[in-house]
A and B are shown apart, each in its own frame.
Chain A
Amino acid sequence: MNVIAAVKAYVTKITEESEPGMKLLMMDKETTSIISMVYSQSEIQQKEVYLLERITDSQNQSSTALKYLKCLVFLRPTAENIKLLCYELTRPKYGTYYIYFSNIIAKADIKLLAEHDEYEVVKEVQELYMDYLAVNPHLFSIGLPNAIKDLTWDSFALQRSVAGVVSVLLSLKKCPVIRYQANSKLCREFGMKVNDLINKESTLFAFGQNSQSLLLIIDRRDDPITPLLNQWTYQAMVHELLTINNNRVNLSKLSGIPKELSEVVMSAEQDSFYAKNIFLNYGEIGQNIKQLMDHFQVKAKSHQKIENIADMKNFVDTYPQFKKLSGNVTKHVTVVGELNAMVNKYQLLDVSEVEQEITSQNDHSGHLQEIKKLIDNEKVRPIDLVKLVILYTLRYQNHANNETQGLIEMLKRRDISSDLLMNIIFVLEYARSITRDNDLFNVEDAVKITKRFFKGLSGVDNVYTQHRPLLQEILEEIVKGKLKDNSYPSIGLSSFNNRAQDIIVFMIGGATYEESLSVHSFNRNHPGFKVLLGGTTIHNSKSFLEEVKHAVSNIPRKHTRKIRNIDCK
């Protein structure tokens, strides 16, 4: 149940099947991301892959043939790619071609390719199932922000997500029981599609359905809180404040960043410091960075002091490691320094404290006062204030003394743009849209649902990390075998074992790194279970608000008519 290892195994298979020789890897935009999540260029060079090429660029470049190169082709099985590949085969630039598709491909397409291979350059044609981004061993993403349009699936996104999840199942050799969140049409539709595909490709899933494994499909709308919160663990924090895109962080827009650091790679596979600190909180990272610096300085000092031959020899022996270390130190010091600057500049600790209090404690007037105080604080960013008001409204919408409108007035007085303010309406509509289906059958008290969002955990270990995502609760229920059949029904099977050990959770509307941490610590604390988390994308608050806007901006307001001082038109 390790997606990183799964992708690595496939890549090794690709490079080894083609026998020794100089190789070129031809990919499309998406497969480039898939590979680069797991391998760095210098690692893949050690597998004799010396050149990388986009299939779209292939025919544009100078047409000199390099027949002594083996061409490994790794593409998604799209119509566009087949067309390009046919063209490439009629004018082959390389000696031999080993073709791999990242997912199931139609027989007709293979026939088409075969008919174009007039020079007999193709040696292999295979399907390997890695049609997803392996972010961490227990976390994958389809890389589809804004998958939901007007509260229904975008048809391309649905197809892409189904293909992605099915490829996850095949790469891990799982044929799970499928359960979905009953109050979400999106989950149901998705589950049905996955089930249909599994049935259609029954020869592929010949290892048989196994009640030991479970695919649980849940809807982001059930927990709109988690992606809104400021984060304090390293990976989540970097994503929230600097945005991680395919393991890469773009620092070029920040001032005073040297050119070689304009884009840094944050990959736990290649960077042991990152792997060790990925889940540590802000304070601890600071300490560890200091240790790393000290360690580095000791090394640097020992390198300055070269007095005799022995020192010199020692220097030569340890220089490569030193060089590696120094690159790493600069990178993390820069990133953490940037985080630190933002935390201080925007007073994020104060903001986060209030956010956490709202999510896990019950004190309406107190929370209201805190928010008002922050609105008066010029240093706090408008977006943080808007998020606070969203949290407040989600939490206290039905409270007798609800003051959402008053808060909005205060935000207006701070000259916060109406574009930002609209997010308040959007998130509320988004969050409430999921109960609408339910209301028809059982009228669940809105307060009760709200409570579910905000249910805190008894043990409070850190003011800034009090909040526990809903996912954690769902996982605990699974452990106890208490996940209710009517809230999470299964597809296709009338009866099933309630105690699955291998659980793949797929979150429609995007997962978060906070949930990734929950899953990781769940795996640690429950050695019998293996949970893999996936999402249409990995959100931070900014991308989440985008997704929400995309999902509801064209839908007429239903649940927020009371809030009259924001006009969404």
Chain B
Amino acid sequence: MAEANPIQEGFLCPICHKDLRSPKKLINHFQDLHSEEQDILKSIKDFYGKAKKKILKLDDQDLETFKNEITLENLYLECSEPQPPGCSTSHTDFFKSIRRERLEHQTAETNKLVIRLDKLLRLDNTDRKQQEQILVAWLDGTTVNRCPSCAATFNIARRQHHCRLCGSIMCNDCSVFLSFERAQSIVVPVQNLGITNKEGTRGRENDNFRICSHCSDMLEQRRIVQAEQMMQPIITQLYAHLQKLKSQVDSLVELYQKMYASLTSGESTFQLQDAQSLKASIGTKAETIDTISKKICSLPILEPNPKVEMLQNSIRRATSNYIKDYLLTLPPLPSIKELAAIKENRLLRVSKEDNEQNVNTVKIKRVTVTTGWSPSSLENSVQSDTESDPLMEQINIVRNYITQARSAQRFEEVVALEENLRMLKKAYRQNQLAKTEETKENNYQLQ
């Protein structure tokens, strides 16, 4: 029985047991071949109808939830990946060429004044007026009846005066007096930058140059530009320090993250205590950064200026955000126990893989000091015992390097050096083994 009628599944024809694969085909098949069996056909149809209702209803529901899942659950916005900037057009060169045309004239003019001033300062005091006129040709005043700048008529009370720098004519009221001292500071700009009162003292002619307001303005503008270039307010100094520390911390954080990833994946490249000390030093750096930003924030504001206050607060806020989001969110290191568990897991995994692959390759790494750091003062620290062999000596040196590297927080170098040390030890052991065997052999021969 069992052999003759194996259990069949599917849309079987009740008469010929043929599998028709789909209800529709089954009905068609029945109508074509077994049309005489009407009630069976009817029952199949009925049965199929009922099943269809049930199945389809289920399908609809499933379909709906399924659809919800694909149409809605998966729809969200990803973070935008960085992309290279689009087109841009630089007008800087065009801008500068136009600016140069315009400014050349003024610069040349100012320079001429400075050179003349320099020469004027070198004059000895005897017969100054004449020498001044030799240097700068004075304008002929015979046809000038009014002061060009204030339009007052010249008379006995209001006499004509000449600018010592350009030779033009003005009245006493329109003259500006440039003291020798200030003239000196203009010619040699490093000195006396602190003086800010714009106009020279009027009235005394002894140790002053009488100049016109036009020349005075040009010299003054030059002085301001130079003074600003030299000025370095405290805030910029503090800020530069802050940024320098930040960039140092950034590289430490990068290293820490590398170490963290390596440690938590169970690798033994880095030491836990090294990561801990690195984290601690990031912490101290963070504190220093915090202190500096506080200092910036509380810098005294000389004149009431809301912008300076905003700037200081803003730097403070940005720094504390930076510390909060970037430095305090560093993942905590696993404890020694956790680390051991991680390592064990990895060992199991690795040994499994090793068994599978049966690969036994020893990688030889070379020590490369890439960041410009190198251990120092080796001679002092190496206590060379005369009896120890060169390998042992090498091992001692490398050990020393490691402690140095560690204290300098060069953990990548530590890793490389430790690799080196391991290889040295191995070589040393082999050497020793060979030696003892040799001595054994020798002994044997002696016997």
Contact = CB atoms under 8 A, between A and B. Distances in A.
A, B: real partners: yes
A111 B83 CA distance: 33
A46 B231 CA distance: 26
A9 B82 contact: yes
B311 A268 contact: no
B385 interface: no
Given A9-B83, A50-B311, A127 B76 contact: no
A22 B82 contact: no
A327 interface: no
A22 B236 CA distance: 8
A126 to B, nearest CB: 5
Contacts of B310: 50-51
Contacts of A5: 80-83
A46 B243 CA distance: 11
A114 B91 CA distance: 10
Contact of B82 (A8, A46, A129): A8
A70 B420 CA distance: 50
B77 interface: yes
B99 interface: yes
A69 B80 contact: no
Interface residues of A, number: 75
A125 B318 contact: no
15 contacts: A2-B81, A67-B231, A95-B228, A110-B95, A117-B99, A122-B95, A124-B92, A127-B88, A170-B86, A171-B85, A172-B86, A275-B78, A284-B72, A284-B73, A520-B77
Interface of B: 64, 67-68, 71-92, 94-96, 98-99, 102-103, 106, 225, 228, 231-233, 235-236, 239, 243, 303-308, 310-311, 314-315, 317-318, 321-322, 324-325, 328-329, 332
A378 interface: no
Contacts of A6: 83, 85-86
Given A122-B99, A126-B91, 20 more contacts: A9-B84, A45-B314, A45-B318, A62-B304, A62-B305, A62-B307, A64-B303, A64-B308, A114-B95, A114-B102, A127-B89, A137-B80, A171-B86, A276-B77, A279-B75, A279-B77, A317-B328, A320-B328, A461-B67, A521-B71
A114 B97 CA distance: 9
Contacts of B318: 42, 45-46, 50
Contacts, number: 186
Interface in A1-46: 2, 4-6, 8-10, 12-13, 20-22, 24, 42, 45-46
A66 B243 CA distance: 19
Contact of A46 (B76, B239, B322): B322
B68 A461 contact: yes
A564 interface: no
B90 A125 contact: yes
A12 to B, nearest CB: 7
Nearest to A10: B85
A110 B77 contact: no
Contact of A51 (B86, B95, B314, B325): B314
A413 interface: no
A212 B185 CA distance: 67
Interface string A153-180: 0000000000000000011110000000
Contacts of A120: 99, 103
Nearest 4 CB-CB pairs, A to B? A171-B86, A45-B318, A114-B98, A9-B85
B85 A12 contact: yes
A20 B246 CA distance: 12
Interface string A480-499: 00000000000000000000
A321 interface: yes
Interface of A: 2, 4-6, 8-10, 12-13, 20-22, 24, 42, 45-46, 50-51, 61-62, 64, 66-69, 95, 104-105, 107, 110-111, 113-115, 117-120, 122-129, 136-137, 170-173, 204, 268-269, 275-281, 284, 316-317, 319-321, 459, 461-462, 517, 520-521, 524
A280 B72 contact: yes
Nearest to A115: B102
Given A9-B82, A119-B225, A110 B243 contact: no
Given A42-B318, A278-B77, A62 B306 contact: yes
A319 B89 CA distance: 46
Contacts of A127: 88-89, 91
A95 B229 CA distance: 9
Nearest to A67: B228
Contacts of A4: 80
Contacts of A21: 236, 239
A125 B86 contact: no
> Could you say which of A105, A172, A320, A521 has the most chain B C-beta atoms within 10 Å of its C-beta?
A320
A387 B325 CA distance: 47
A137 B77 contact: yes
A277 B94 CA distance: 49
Contacts of B329: 320-321
A320 B325 contact: yes
Contacts of A104: 89
A119 to B, nearest CB: 7
A269 B86 contact: no
Nearest to B244: A20
